[in-house]
Amino acid sequence: MGGVQHLFRIPDTVRVSLRRMDLRLLRYFVAVAEERHFGRAADRLHMTQPPLSRAIRQLEADLGAVLLHRSASGVTLTAAGTVLYGDARALLEQADQVRARVGAAEGATITIGTIADSAEDAGSRLAAAFRQRNPGVHVRIREADFTDPTAGLRSGLADIAVTRTPFNRTGITTLVLRSDPVGVVLRADDPLAGRDRLHLGDLADRQWFQLPEGTDPIWRAYWNGTARGGRLRDGPVVRTITECMQGTLWNGTIGMMPLGHALPDGLICVPLAGMRPSRLVLAWKKSSTDPLIRSFTRIAAESYRPAPAAG
């Protein structure tokens, strides 16, 4: 960090010489503090656990303070760790802002992929916070249809995606924002529409929407109410939310959606028992080193994650 130390305002509470620390160690510590577990933090950082543990030990030695209470179930922050966590987050954020401002001066752009109303689900506060911390960065929104659960991320058409699981996450990192139970969408005059909840067995004789051939098989099976690798339920092929809604209204074809979404008149969503919830996530490529993506994910983590537990 030697060449950029003067760019950062270092709080007095961080009693450490910057010559003995670097941003890499601080990122490691923040990941452990937020995940509360060395294994999960190592996965998040795309490294193995032993070098991560050694790096945290080195950081503690440099600071002359124990930062974490370690146990078989995970870690919690000590008093010193709590102080460092807050200051490290601020320092890392400033570092990313410096990189983002440099990028903005060069006309930086970030493309956010979305599916259906996933961007709306993520909340306007993410957009407001990102604009505030990354002024001058141009944001493009790319809406994909249901054939690509990565919303253009895997094909390189998006830098980061606001989407839903489950899908094949090979080479992709995700941050869970929220977990939503799902329901089955029926016409309001359907004989099953008055039920408090339904099971898949109640819908065995119905036509279900299908996603096109070539769609991620994990994603395709989930939204068809089918076990992974099982035979898909019969029904028309759809690509968009509008096709689904109109297909239910006109033909009574059924499909699933997260609960709590507004529906057109004439449709109702009944909770579906026994189905795994759908998780709203941010997704980005594991290989990415883009500071704008780090800034976006950090803002999301602040908005949706609980504070690390202190011991």
Average pLDDT of the segment spanning 277-285: 93
Q: Which overall architecture, per CATH, does domain 2-106 show?
A: Orthogonal Bundle (1.10)
Over the stretch 221-231, which tens digit does the pLDDT of each residue have? Answer: 999 999 888 88
The predicted pLDDT at position 6 comes to: 38
* CA atoms in the 13 A half-sphere facing the CB of 228: 8
Residue-range domain boundaries for the chain: 2-106, 109-178, 182-276
Mean of per-residue pLDDT scores for the chain: 85
Answer whether 0.75 is exceeded by the pTM.
Answer: no
Domain 182-276 top-level CATH class: alpha beta
Radius of gyration in angstroms for the set of CA atoms belonging to the chain, rounded to a whole number: 23
Q: Do domains 2-106 and 182-276 have the same CATH topology?
A: no
The predicted pLDDT at position 122 comes to: 66
Among 117, 279, 115, 268, residue whose Cα is nearest residue 183: 268
In this structure, what token pair is assigned to residue 220?
Answer: 């395709």
Average pLDDT of the segment spanning 165-176: 93
